[in-house]
Amino acid sequence: MVVEDTLKTLVERRSVRAVAQVGSAGTPLAWAGSLPQLLVVDRKVQTPTREMQDGMVLHLFPYAALEEGQLPVALLAEARIVYDPTRLLTRQASHLPAADPKTLQKSARALLDRIQLNRQPDFIQALFVARQVFLENVLPMHLSPAQHFVSDCRFPEYLQNRLSLTQPRVLSALNELFALRHPEEASLLLAATRGLSLTQQEKRARIANEAGFAQGSIFYLRQESTRIHQEALKQWAHLPAPRRERLSQLWGLERSPLGWVAVNLVREFL
């Protein structure tokens, strides 16, 4: 009922211009860790945001993102449209935009060229940027629009199914950048979340690990701990040693390439 009530509230809100269900919840692909997810286009939203509300994930976008065709292909590919008075969302979901390699390469190079390595935290930041560029710029060049998907806890396993035969080099880069070659590490990362305000993330990652998605569990905790605690890099040298060690473990700093090694790994695809 929570989902139905939320949908009713959103549709009745005048600023909301489109709503769609996404993700695996409520589909034959649902699993123990599936959460209801909604794509919401709202005139009051200024920048794309992801929020958790009442056990649901809300992907919030400004109206300009819909009007200018800037919604993520992964969300469009899975959109089960609930409300779309302008029919813009329906048209875009029916004709998924193909990635423009030149545009992706240009924006990727712009991000990588801004990297400067002057202090130890800069080498870690370079890894974060390399991971972002790989996910947002490199992968779209190797996936057809229909192959895009919404996933967090099963992301590596999904890619394995889609690219193992055609793009083994891409999968190898994913495993190296995110340090996914040691699935036994999943249980250790669950313990490393303690004291870092990652209670909900730990619960989801534990469900994924118990369901057989060890790499997905690791990937999810890498991404979520980075999203929530990246600001800690500003005080990296002054953090208490136990906190720095837990973040280092969650981020995979002992197993991942850092600095120019990470950057050059991504540059090979550009």
Cα Rg of the chain (Å, integer) = 19
Q: What is the pTM of this model?
A: 0.90
3-state class (DSSP) for residue 261: helix
Of 196, 221, 222, 218, the C-alpha closest to 128 is 222
The one-letter code for the residue type at 45 is V
Task: Give span(s): CATH 3.30.460.10, the chain.
Answer: 2-94
Q: What percent of the chain has pLDDT over 90?
A: 83
- In this structure, what token pair is assigned to residue 227? 């999203």
Return the minimum-mean-pLDDT range out of 16-20, 63-67, 119-123, 161-165.
Answer: 161-165
**What tokens does 58 get?**
């809300």
Q: Is the dihedral of CA 147, 156, 132, 165 positive or negative?
A: negative
- What is the rounded average pLDDT for all residues in the chain? 94
Answer for the pair 10, 19: CB distance below 8 angstroms, yes or no: yes
| CATH superfamily, region 2-94 | Beta Polymerase, domain 2 (3.30.460.10)
Q: What's the confidence (pLDDT) of residue 17?
A: 97
- Give the model confidence (pLDDT) of 72-121 as tens digits: 999 999 999 999 999 999 999 999 888 889 999 999 999 999 999 999 99
Does residue 165 register a pLDDT over 90?
no
Q: What is the DSSP letter of 151?
A: -
DSSP 99: P
Mean of pLDDT values over 143-172 = 89
Residue 1, pLDDT > 80, answer: no
Question: Which 3 state secondary structure label does DSSP give 77?
Answer: helix
Tokens of 31: 């699993």
Is 90 exceeded by the pLDDT of residue 159? yes
Per-residue pLDDT at 228 exceeds 80: yes
Assign residue 26 a region (left: φ > 0; alpha: ψ between -120 and 50; beta: otherwise): left
- State the pLDDT at residue 151: 83
Place of tokens 């005139």: 43
CA pair distance 5, 224, nearest whole angstrom: 28
